[in-house]
Structure 1
Amino acid sequence: MYNILIADDEPLICRGLAGLLESSGLNIQQIYTAYTGYEALDYLKMESIDLLITDIQMGAMSGIELMQQARIVKPWVEVIVISAHETFQYAQLAMRLGARDYLIKPINSEQLLHSVRHVLLHMDRPAQTQAELFSDLREHFRLEQPEPRRMELLNRIVSDSVAVQEPDTELASLAREHRVELSGPYFAMIKVRLGIQNEGQTAAIADKDAVLLQYAVLNIVSELLDKDWNHQSFYSAKRDIGVILQWDEAAYGSSGSNAINQLEMLGRSLHFNISKYLGHQCVVGISQILRGREFLPELNHQVNKAIFWNREHQDHHVFFFGDFKWERMSEDPTEEDLAAQNNLIVEKAREYVLANYAQKGLTLNEVAQRNHVSPNYLSYLFKKYTGTNLWEYVIKLRMEESKRLLLTTDLRRYEISEQVGYESPEHFSKIFKKYFGMSPSEMKK
């Protein structure tokens, strides 16, 4: 049974789509409706949502922003976008963020049901034993392995900061021969490091199966990146998969400050898909974005250092180099160094939330930006060090303040809703009842 969230600032459309899905006969347990992006975000944080159907333009928070936040909160949530605008730029961005479909209003009922049915049917895949996994991989991956010389070339490029710069060097000549185009001028790297054992299994992977698994991961990388990213992927040391991403001036200009967020979402998607479809754990390292091919070895160094942090956080799997203040510690930081830095991040986040929890439109992304870390890492650290996730903490502060105002003042529901940061009294009442088990009016009585 699946839970579906419909987000659209037109209530009639929300109710119409909900009614259509309720009568469809699909395996649906619960349908939630939200009239703003912020309301939808609360549902995503509080409920077990499998599929989000969102309008692309909803006032204060757009569908694109909602998708970005959803990828931070629950990267496994599937998305179908609906829009009144047949705009290629919107469609391209939505698909880059992982939307499974992009439907134009007025919505054709059959088209919507077909899209939802397709997403739900392909959502689950039964768990496999290690033997079943490798049998399946042998059956499906019969293509030739990547060119060894091309793999060797890309490894040389990310370790040699001089040779690739001059057009008449041997390395530059090989790059042209193997169609390795690195024009940039902006570059970043992602590296996937495979676990040596299958989740739930005690047997180590045989060498021949490890090679097959590495090839399957390379195919997942290509599947996720080929359509929308200018990239070069390759086998790296330790059976890692390296990915060089690049932007020209126009592409980077259109990405702006979102480029790092997109890289992080891509890293989380890679981790999620490898875990889901291959049943194997991996660690993903993400570099910063630098301008110039000469920095490719530095980017390779950064992804290796980012992966290093899995030593400290073995229950976390996606690491962005920029989250860690390397200049404040030694090359090989002690456990005390790491704990002190993490405590500082959590405390600053807590202070910011305490001062701003009543702000309308407060998001995890904003709290993270204020603390100069990625939302993914902040969310992980906050839960690890406080025992509660960051948004549960925000809701706790809002609910306790609203209870105080309800019992000690004559403010009306809409006034209290306004004071604790909710977009609408209706949404405030839903959250209040879920938190306290009774409505504001029932508590007042």
Structure 2
Amino acid sequence: MHRILIVDDEPLIGQGLNSLLASSGIGIEAIYVAHNGYEALDYIRMEDIDLLITDIQMGAMSGIELMHQAKLVRPWIQTIVISAHETFQYAQLAMRLGAKDYLIKPLDGIQLLDSVRNALLKLEKRSKSREETIDTLRDSFRVAEPSALQTALLNNLLSDEANSMKPSSIEMHKLGIGLDGPYFAVLKLRLLTRTASSAGGPPSERDAQLLRYAALNITAELLAETERESVVFYSGADELSIVMQWDEESYENTSASKLDQLDMIGRSLHRSMKRYLGLTTIVSISQIANGLQSLVLLNKQAIQALRWSERHPDHDVFYYGDFHESLYTKEETSEDELHAQHNRIAEGAKAYIDRNYAQKGLTLHEVAQNNHVSPNYLSYLFKKTNGMNLWEYVMKLRMEESRRLLLETDMRRYEIAERVGYESPEHFSKIFKKYYGISPSELKK
């Protein structure tokens, strides 16, 4: 059963799509309707939305910007874009952000339902046991494994061994490896196949190899969906390495942060391995650097980031730039020092939210940027330190202030909604009732 969010600033279209989907017979648990991007983001933050159906032109926040913000919150969310304009630029931007379809108004109901079914197929939850999954892996995946020569060449390219001769770009192209860059990053996936839990215990050696092959396929498929140039290969018995690359044009395109893209890929990989293979993974992400020669340094960064999982066993995706070398490379660093470091970051985020919670466009990315860490790491530290996630804290402040204003002033509902950061009084009322169990008007009485 799936949860679908419809976003359109024309109420009649939103209602029509809601009715069409509700009577379609598709396995839908809940349908939510929002009238602008800000409302939509609240639903995405609060509900486990599987599919976003959004208009592309909606006033203050466009459908493109909504897609980008939605991916930061839930990188795996599926999206269908609807538009009154057959504009190639819009369609191209939507597809780059992972839209599964781009439909033109007036909508054809049958076409929309077919598009929804296709998007939801990718999200079907597998109920098979790990053993059943392993038995079907050979038939399910088609990506060819890198040859032994390709794998050796790629690992040599990342190695810091003295006197190792690095292959040239021309030599790699001859062997079917395209690494032209000139900008690169390295990601690593540590597959915990040896400790995979099931009634039957850890997998056999054969099954572990098959799981590793499946992980390679899932990684390659996910990266193909994001349209990011990359090379995936084995770098250990239970480890995959990914070399991401950007050419000059795509790197200079500032419409989306490259580090945000890497973070989304890392979180999506971790979730996919758990969801489809029952595998726990640790993902590490290097910084971005220029030149093929930088891969040695980037590989070291990814290895170091993997090691930090020993200090943070309750975290899954590690970006090298989140950690202060002076603190984390000292083996004698005490838990008290680490705790103080975490508190400083979390308290800095909390103070920033205290000052800006009523801002309509406030995002996790903005708070993270202000504290010089990735959104993923900030989310982890904030919840660990404060016992609630960052957006729950934003909502708590908004709801407490709105309750105070309702009880202590004569301000109207639309004025209070505006004061605490909501785009419309109707949306504010929905959130208020969900939070307190009664509507603003009922509280006022």
Give the letter aligned to residue 13 of structure 1. Answer: I
**2:346–2:385 CA contact under 8 A, matched in 1:** yes
The aligned counterpart of 1:110 is 110
Q: CA deviation at 1:171?
A: 5.5
With 278-287 and 76-85 compared, the bigger mean Cα shift is at: 76-85
The aligned counterpart of 2:73 is 73
The aligned counterpart of 2:283 is 284
Residue among 175, 200, 203 paired with 2:201:
203
Q: CA deviation at 1:3?
A: 2.2
**1:130–1:201 CA contact under 8 A, matched in 2:** no
Q: CA deviation at 1:321?
A: 1.2
Q: CA deviation at 1:172?
A: 5.6
1:190-339 alignment to 2 at 5 Å?
190-195=187-192, 196-201=194-199, 203-226=201-224, 228-255=227-254, 258-332=257-331, 333-339=333-339
1:421 aligned to 2:421? Answer: yes
The aligned counterpart of 2:8 is 8
1:325 to 1:109, Cα distance in 2 relative to 1, 3 A: same
Give the letter aligned to residue 194 of structure 1. Answer: L
TM superposition score normalised by structure 1: 0.92
The aligned counterpart of 1:34 is 34
Q: CA deviation at 1:122?
A: 4.3
Give the letter aligned to residue 304 of structure 2. Answer: K
1:142 to 1:435, Cα distance in 2 relative to 1, 3 A: closer
**Separation in structure 2 between the aligned mates of residue 69 and residue 220 of structure 1, nearest angstrom:** 24
1:329 to 1:270, Cα distance in 2 relative to 1, 3 A: closer
TM superposition score normalised by structure 2: 0.92
**Separation in structure 2 between the aligned mates of residue 164 and residue 247 of structure 1, nearest angstrom:** 26
CA displacement, residues 143-166 of structure 1 (integer Å, 9 cap, x when unaligned): 76421010000001011499899x
**Separation in structure 1 between the aligned mates of residue 80 and residue 208 of structure 2, nearest angstrom:** 35
**2:169–2:179 CA contact under 8 A, matched in 1:** no
CA displacement, residues 189-211 of structure 1 (integer Å, 9 cap, x when unaligned): 11111012324456223222222
The aligned counterpart of 1:189 is 186
1:410 to 1:145, Cα distance in 2 relative to 1, 3 A: closer
1:254 to 1:172, Cα distance in 2 relative to 1, 3 A: closer
**Separation in structure 2 between the aligned mates of residue 240 and residue 431 of structure 1, nearest angstrom:** 44
1:340 aligned to 2:340? Answer: yes
The aligned counterpart of 1:406 is 406
The aligned counterpart of 1:127 is 127
Q: CA deviation at 1:382?
A: 1.2
Q: CA deviation at 1:238?
A: 4.0
SS at match of 2:9: coil
The aligned counterpart of 2:174 is 177
The count of aligned residue pairs is 442
Q: CA deviation at 1:370?
A: 0.8
**Separation in structure 1 between the aligned mates of residue 89 and residue 164 of structure 2, nearest angstrom:** 34
- Alignment RMSD, CA only? 2.3
Q: CA deviation at 1:417?
A: 1.1
**1:190–1:284 CA contact under 8 A, matched in 2:** yes
1:47-58 alignment to 2 at 5 Å?
47-58=47-58
Give the letter aligned to residue 300 of structure 1. Answer: N
1:151-166 alignment to 2 at 5 Å?
151-160=151-160
Q: CA deviation at 1:327?
A: 3.4
The aligned counterpart of 2:43 is 43
With 87-96 and 405-414 compared, the bigger mean Cα shift is at: 87-96
**Separation in structure 1 between the aligned mates of residue 41 and residue 330 of structure 2, nearest angstrom:** 39
**Separation in structure 2 between the aligned mates of residue 109 and residue 304 of structure 1, nearest angstrom:** 50
CA displacement, residues 159-191 of structure 1 (integer Å, 9 cap, x when unaligned): 1499899xxx76566424313232211111111
- Consecutive unaligned residues of structure 2, counting only runs of 5 or more, are none
**Separation in structure 2 between the aligned mates of residue 319 and residue 90 of structure 1, nearest angstrom:** 33
The aligned counterpart of 1:86 is 86
1:256 to 1:201, Cα distance in 2 relative to 1, 3 A: farther
Give the letter aligned to residue 47 of structure 2. Answer: E
**2:142–2:217 CA contact under 8 A, matched in 1:** no
1:328 to 1:86, Cα distance in 2 relative to 1, 3 A: farther
**Separation in structure 2 between the aligned mates of residue 173 and residue 100 of structure 1, nearest angstrom:** 36
SS at match of 2:6: strand
1:361-380 alignment to 2 at 5 Å?
361-380=361-380
With 264-273 and 328-337 compared, the bigger mean Cα shift is at: 328-337
SS at match of 1:212: helix
**1:163–1:171 CA contact under 8 A, matched in 2:** no
Q: CA deviation at 1:64?
A: 2.8
**Separation in structure 2 between the aligned mates of residue 92 and residue 207 of structure 1, nearest angstrom:** 44
With 44-53 and 115-124 compared, the bigger mean Cα shift is at: 115-124
SS at match of 1:235: strand
SS at match of 1:341: helix
1:142 to 1:412, Cα distance in 2 relative to 1, 3 A: closer
- Consecutive unaligned residues of structure 1, counting only runs of 5 or more, are none
With 108-117 and 84-93 compared, the bigger mean Cα shift is at: 84-93
1:170 to 1:33, Cα distance in 2 relative to 1, 3 A: closer
**1:368–1:375 CA contact under 8 A, matched in 2:** yes
CA displacement, residues 247-278 of structure 1 (integer Å, 9 cap, x when unaligned): 11111111465111111111111112221111
CA displacement, residues 267-291 of structure 1 (integer Å, 9 cap, x when unaligned): 1111122211111111111111111
Give the letter aligned to residue 60 of structure 2. Answer: A
Give the letter aligned to residue 240 of structure 1. Answer: E
The aligned counterpart of 1:18 is 18
